[in-house]
Amino acid sequence: MSRPPRVEKGGHPDAESEDGQVRHAHGIVDEAGRTLAALRHRQQDLRKQIAAVDAENRLLERELLQQLSQWRRLDDATQRVEDVLPQLKAVTGSLTYRLVAGMLGLVNRVRRAILPGRR
C-alpha cells in the first residue's frame, strides 16, 4: 500500500480552492442577508408611511365632506332667498307706495289744518 502524498502547509490544492469557494459563497450569503434585512426595514418604513398617508387622506376626506355639506346648506339657503326675493321686492314696493301715499295724505291734512281756506 502506498501512502497518500503529504500535504504541505495550506493543504491540498483542490481543498484550498474549495475553501475559497465556500468563503466566497458565505460572503455572498452574508451580503444577501444584509440586503434582505435592509429591504425588510425599508418595507416596514414604507408601510408606516403608507399608513400615515392613508390616515391623512381619511382626515382630509372627512373635512372635505363637511365643507361640501356646509356648501350645500349655503346653496340651499341662497336658493330659498332667491325664490323669496321677488316676493320681498313686491311687498316692499307695495309698502313703500302705501307709506309714501300715507305720508302725502298726512302732509295734505296737516297743510289743510294749518292753512285753512286752501284746498
Return the higher-pLDDT residue of 31 and 112. 31
C-alpha cell at 65: 365632506
What is the predicted pLDDT for the residue at 103? 92
* CB distance 59 to 52 below 8 Å: no
Nearest to 32 by CA among 87, 24, 15: 24
| pLDDT above 80 (res 13) | no
Mean pLDDT of 59-81: 96
CA-CA-CA-CA torsion for 31, 35, 40, 41, nearest 10 degrees? 100
| pLDDT above 90 (res 51) | yes
pLDDT band at residue 119 under the 50/70/90 scheme: low
pLDDT band at residue 3 under the 50/70/90 scheme: low
| pLDDT above 70 (res 2) | no
CA-CA-CA-CA torsion for 23, 25, 30, 31, nearest 10 degrees? 120
What is the predicted pLDDT for the residue at 19? 87
What is the predicted pLDDT for the residue at 114? 87
Q: Which residues contact 112 (CB under 8 A, 6 or more apart)?
A: 118, 119
